[in-house]
Structure 1
Amino acid sequence: MTSGISSISSSSSTNSTTATGTSQEIAGNFQQFLTLLTTQLKNQNPLDPLDTNQFTQQLVQYAGVEQQLKSNDRLDSILSNSKAASAASATSFVGQTVTADGQVADLKDGSATWTLTPSRAAKQATITISDAKGNVVATQTKALTTGAQSFTWDGRSTSGFTSANGSYKIKVDAIDATGAKVTVDTQVSGKVDGVDLSGSAPVLLIGNSRVPIASVQNIGTGLST
């Protein structure tokens, strides 16, 4: 499992450095404020002492900066705990078969599968498969029934050649019996090989596809073709 999880040490180090730098900057300004305030009190003109209202405002500023420092420390702690919990939850997906929103699926061993969910029955649906460079490699036409259904591409191009393994994108243009356009949602299914934790949110790795964990719809769901 460890091999399927990208290291987050560099990201955590960067975030920690940024947070530390910000904290040190505020702390430095806070210390400078104290020094200026103390110096001001020591060097008051006895004949013209510091105005009481002004002194009160400065003390309020003093308290505000102190609270900001404490708040930043607490927020950093909460953020770290939240990321740790999110990472722990994401790793549980490794080895699981998931279905998630998406158009890109991997062709492997002559098979790439998507889940198609039309808003209503479609009399005719034109399914277009494109490669990673955007080139159309295959086009099929079929009817779609209401509800989620699996569509598997065997990797054969329109010209009859077998396409190389890799990532392919699906596009579905469908119409009903009256000729009105039918919206078709697309999902991808596959076994989670690993988890990338280097970003702000975990990303599941399914072959060469990257699936945000927030887009996962089902776990261990299998639909018949």
Structure 2
Amino acid sequence: MTSGISSLANTAATKTSSTGTSAQEIAGNFTQFLTLLTTQLKNQNPLDPMDTNQFTQQLVQFAGVEQQLKTNDRLDNILTSSKAASSATATSYIGKSITADGSAADLTSGGSANWNLNASRAASKAVVSILDSKSNVVGTQTIALTAGSQTFTWNGRTASGISAPAGTYTIKVAAQDATGASVTVDTSTSGTVDEVDLSGSTPVLLIGKQRVPLSSVQTVGLSTTAG
């Protein structure tokens, strides 16, 4: 009988760590455990009673299993509530103009692509490279940068002078000051949020085809696009 009780206790502990475990299974095992324990106590040999330390330890083990199940349920509820709140926050960005940390920007057919450059200090020489989706350099331009935030606009033309196809392009900036020392330049992009992708574990904002993680948003404002 004691071995049967031990087996139930061990089974409950093992099932708790399995992904398919249900609270109903543990509750059923616990009820069976108590039934076996009560039966054994009623029918034990008075001259050779069962080891109280053993079944006390098993009771503690079952209590731990029950507490773990409750903790897991509460964590699941917290995660569900957190995801719902995050999704609600993300959808409020639709139609808003945002600035997000990042180096990618969309080029529309026959249009231009814009980036915000923030130089830590003035740079007398900054080589700006534009890369396509395959990380190929399609154009370069050498400019000077002032300290602080400024806008860089690419007209969509490649180094050979032809118009680049519409799509998402990435910018890289290598800047130096008058002494030849490197200057740090942070890049960000702006645009109006068209929709929100909620299919993943975290919401992603979409500006055209450009995907912007919610965590990379720096500023939010009213869209300047005419209705």
TM over 0.5: yes
Q: Residues 180-219 of structure 1 correspond to what in structure 2 (within 5 A)?
A: 180-219=181-220
Aligned residues: 202
The equivalent residue for 1:102 is 102
Cα contact 2:128–2:171 (8 A) shared by 1: yes
The share of aligned pairs that are identical, in percent, is 59
The equivalent residue for 1:122 is 123
Deviation of 1:86 (Å): 0.8
Show structure 1 runs of 5+ residues with no match: 1-20
Deviation of 1:205 (Å): 0.7
Cα contact 2:193–2:207 (8 A) shared by 1: yes
Deviation of 1:30 (Å): 5.0
Cα contact 2:96–2:222 (8 A) shared by 1: no
The equivalent residue for 1:133 is 134
Q: Residues 17-32 of structure 1 correspond to what in structure 2 (within 5 A)?
A: 22=19, 24-25=21-22, 27-29=24-26, 31-32=28-29
TM-score, normalization by structure 1 = 0.82
The amino acid across from 2:137 in the alignment is: V
Higher relative contact order (CA 8 A, sep 6+): 1
TM-score, normalization by structure 2 = 0.82
CA-to-aligned-CA distance 1:26-81 (integer Å, 9 cap, x gap):
64245335424532542464143321222221111122111222222222222111
> In structure 2, how many angstroms separate the alpha carbons of the residues matched to 1:42 and 1:111?
82
Q: Residues 145-156 of structure 1 correspond to what in structure 2 (within 5 A)?
A: 145-156=146-157
> In structure 2, how many angstroms separate the alpha carbons of the residues matched to 1:69 and 1:23?
12
Deviation of 1:146 (Å): 0.5
Runs of 4+ in 1 over 6 A off after TM superposition: none
1:60 maps to 2:41: no
The equivalent residue for 2:166 is 165
The amino acid across from 1:219 in the alignment is: V
- CA gap of 1:170–1:94, structure 2 versus 1, over 3 A, is same
The equivalent residue for 1:15 is none
> What SS does structure 2 have at the residue aligned with 1:199?
coil
Deviation of 1:172 (Å): 0.4
> In structure 2, how many angstroms separate the alpha carbons of the residues matched to 1:92 and 1:130?
32
> In structure 1, how many angstroms separate the alpha carbons of the residues matched to 2:52 and 2:81?
44
Instruction: Out of 150-159 and 58-67, give the one that drifted further.
Output: 58-67
> What SS does structure 2 have at the residue aligned with 1:220?
strand
Deviation of 1:23 (Å): 6.4
> What SS does structure 1 have at the residue aligned with 2:77?
helix
Cα contact 1:30–1:62 (8 A) shared by 2: no
The equivalent residue for 2:5 is none
CA RMSD of aligned residues (A): 2.0
> In structure 2, how many angstroms separate the alpha carbons of the residues matched to 1:130 and 1:181?
21
Cα contact 1:128–1:136 (8 A) shared by 2: yes
Deviation of 1:127 (Å): 0.3
The equivalent residue for 1:48 is 48
> In structure 2, how many angstroms separate the alpha carbons of the residues matched to 1:131 and 1:154?
14
The equivalent residue for 1:8 is none
Show structure 2 runs of 5+ residues with no match: 1-17
> In structure 1, how many angstroms separate the alpha carbons of the residues matched to 2:99 and 2:222?
7
Higher CA-based Rg: 2
1:39 maps to 2:36: yes
> What SS does structure 2 have at the residue aligned with 1:22?
coil
Cα contact 1:101–1:217 (8 A) shared by 2: yes
